[in-house]
Chain A
Amino acid sequence: MTIADKVLLAFLVAATFSSYVLVERVTTQGSVVLVEVDGELRYKADLQSDASVIIQGASGKLTLQIREGRVSISEADCPNHICVRTSPKSRSGELIVCAPNKTMIQIVGQTDEKIRAVTG
């Protein structure tokens, strides 16, 4: 092993150790679906369980579909159907909004800060 190899190895070791314990604040795949109508929480569901739910909005009904970890609106009693045309959502922080029905569908992730450590 040359000196350059050793320096490189020392750097790699230092870089490795610096990642051993890290705080995960990363939200990726969402885990929970929240439905609010006019600012009020009406419905909460696990994103991983398939479901079809009818939500009573401010001016009509919407049908919420959860399939394979993705949420979409399949039907809605509203004039523009923007919410129905919105692509299915799966990631934390994503929204589907139906303005005429004052309905907001929001995906949230694990918001707890997790501390990690490794044994073995």
Chain B
Amino acid sequence: MRETKALPRERWKGRIDRWMPICFLACVLAACSPTTEPPVRLDTTAMDTFVSVTVFDGGEDRAEIEGLIRQAFREIGRVEEIATDYSDSSEVGMVNTSAGKETVSISTEIAGLIRESFSYSTMSDGAFDVTIGPMVKKWDFLAENPVVPSEREIHELLPLVNYKLVVLSGARIFLPLKGMRLDLGGIAKGYAVDNAIHLLRRKGLKEMIVDIGGNLGIYWEGTHLLDSTKATIYIRHPRRDDEFFGSFDVGTGGVSTSGDYQRFLVHEGVRYHHILDPKTGQPVRTMVSVTVVAPTATMADALSTTAFVLGREKGMRLIEELPEVDGIMIFEQGDSLGYSLSSGLQGKFVRSHPN
């Protein structure tokens, strides 16, 4: 008898219930506080998650800022349209349906994003791999009732997962084996965040946070990475819905978290989560959560997954080797959670203590 259960939806309901008092409190406190110019914030959903853009520039026309935020939403929607692998008509979809058949012309933009993803593959010896597509499709964590694939099914798909097989020349791409699939899910949200930030900056805005499902882009003119205390980033507690694990301050840069609690299913008491090792096709067992701070959200997005798959030693070594990149790794330690910090976050990360 299989006892497979899809938990994310239950989890969201629980989370919403727990957040309600906080929302209420926030509204009350906001109403009590002295009113200087409040930030302009709009929310939407895209890329299978929630999206929010908050602009803190004061003194501008608020309606105009709202218009600019809507432009940023359209840009995020555009990135989703070209990068999604759920639609056969998207650029990535067309590449996938032509796998094993023919070479496809793609935009220089998508070609560039694929090349950037290969650079993370190269620096991690394949721990990050956008050809993970067949595995992601097999596990299908977004399904109504996801099931654990058999060893044999995964074994059969393993030869299809290898970025080195991809033939990419200029803006022409060929996936040589039938069944190969690109999945830009480990980098596209970060890329969309960066594009939204660039758009708002080009329009003259100077202070903003773009949030696509916890992939954050923070921009404060005149600040750099961890050198400012203007924005405090809270890391969600991997095991307690209503708590934060810790926080740190950022001025400008990208922040992204890969966690085993974000998308998962539980089968016979074992948690199977969505961060798959390209070499085994199985969820990575050694890590709970990795948060990365980097100069761009694209880097942060890709590197949080890369470091998660690489594990504690190798992952932290990669984070330390890369200039202007820092990270927090959370892992199981007996019955509780332990964590390690890269050198740039030592003395800056503040562990949250439950009240």
Contact = CB atoms under 8 A, between A and B. Distances in A.
B26 A117 contact: no
Interface residues of B, number: 48
B232 A16 contact: no
Given A17-B50, A18-B23, A120 B209 contact: no
Contact of A23 (B13, B27, B39, B235): B39
A5 to B, nearest CB: 10
Contacts of B30: 22-23
Contacts of A12: 16-17, 20
Interface centre among B19, B22, B236 (most CB of A within 10 A): B19
Contacts of B257: 119-120
A9 B231 contact: no
A116 B234 contact: yes
A21 B52 contact: yes
Interface string A15-27: 1111111110110
B233 A25 contact: no
Contacts of A21: 39, 41, 52, 54, 209, 211
A14 B229 CA distance: 28
B256 A119 contact: yes
Contacts of B34: 25
B229 A112 contact: yes
Contacts of A119: 214-216, 233-236, 255-257, 291
23 contacts: A12-B20, A16-B20, A19-B22, A19-B23, A20-B211, A21-B41, A21-B209, A23-B30, A23-B38, A25-B36, A114-B232, A115-B39, A115-B56, A115-B232, A116-B232, A117-B209, A117-B211, A117-B231, A117-B255, A119-B216, A119-B257, A120-B238, A120-B291
Given A18-B43, A19-B26, 5 more contacts: A20-B211, A25-B36, A114-B229, A114-B230, A119-B233
